[in-house]
Amino acid sequence: MNFIDRFLYKFLMLITILLIIIALDYFNFISINKLQINLSNNIHIMSYVSKLNGNSNLFDLGEDKEVEVSSIAHMMEKIEHGYRIYLDTYEGVENLRLGSVMKIEKINNKYNVYIESSDNITYCYSNLDTIDVHLYEIVKKDEIIGNVKEKEQKSYLLYLYKNNQYIDN
């Protein structure tokens, strides 16, 4: 069997599987829309890595075990369901906790970046002009995820979610 034969065999198998799925959807045995929704839900890898890691630090997650007082706390203003964080002139937006980028939105030429940490808290960094991360990228603590280009009082919004509910501290 040469290369062309193997390719045609795999192509024929793929077409057959696709036709079977379309036929099952046509006769209402399955729903392609529900299948697409289920396949688009991603598994949050950080929670599995944390469980596997345990106390042994098998994988270096880059997290400090000590609780630190954030250096940006004095430049933070409480708003409804979140915080407005002010930046220095040349400062970028830093990630607060190790996690993976789960969603990126662009609304009115501003970006919203959603990063889910290993404790299943989602950090939403909003009002960003540029972003330096990609979807499903693992972002370490203090890594720059984007920037704000306002002339006066550079600031971004930070919202915390757990189980699709705002966390108000």
The model's confidence at residue 3, banded by pLDDT at 50, 70 and 90, is confident
Our measurement of the distance from residue 36's CA atom to the centroid of its chain's CA atoms, rounded to an integer in Å, reads 19
Q: Is residue 53 part of a domain?
A: no
Is 58 a member of any domain? no
CA distances from 166 to 91, 159, 161, 163 (A): 27, 7, 5, 8
| Segment 122-142, tens digit of pLDDT | 999 999 999 999 988 889 888
In this predicted model, what pLDDT tens digit does every residue of 80-121 receive, in sequence order?
888 888 887 667 889 988 889 989 999 999 999 999 887 888
Q: Which residue matches tokens 């972002």?
A: 139
Which pLDDT band holds residue 46 (cuts at 50, 70, 90)? low
pLDDT exceeds 60 at position 68: no
What percent of the chain clears pLDDT 90, i.e. is strictly above it?
Answer: 28
pLDDT of 53 above 60? yes
Residues 153, 94, single domain; the answer is yes
- Nearest partner of 81 among 159, 155, 165, judged by Cα: 159
* pLDDT at position 69: 41
Residue 76 covered by a domain: yes
Band (pLDDT 50/70/90 cuts) for residue 37 is low
Residue 146 is part of which domain span? 66-166
Are 85 and 12 members of one domain? no
Number of domains in the chain: 2
**pLDDT confidence of residue 67:** 40
- 3-state SS of the chain is CCHHHHHHHHHHHHHHHHHHHHHHHHCCCCCHHHHHHHHHCCCCHHHHHHHHHCCCCCCCCCCCCCCCCCCCHHHEEEECCEEEEECCCCCCEECCCCEEEEEEEEECCEEEEEEEECCCCEEEEEEECEECCCCCCEECCCCEEEECCCCCCCEEEEEEEECCEECCC
**Domain harbouring 124, CATH code:** 2.70.70.10
Are residue 81 and residue 124 in the same domain, yes or no? yes
Q: Is residue 47 included in any domain, yes or no?
A: no
Residues 13 and 77 occupy one common structural domain: no
For residue 26, is it within any domain? Answer: yes
Confidence of residue 14 (pLDDT cuts 50, 70, 90): very high
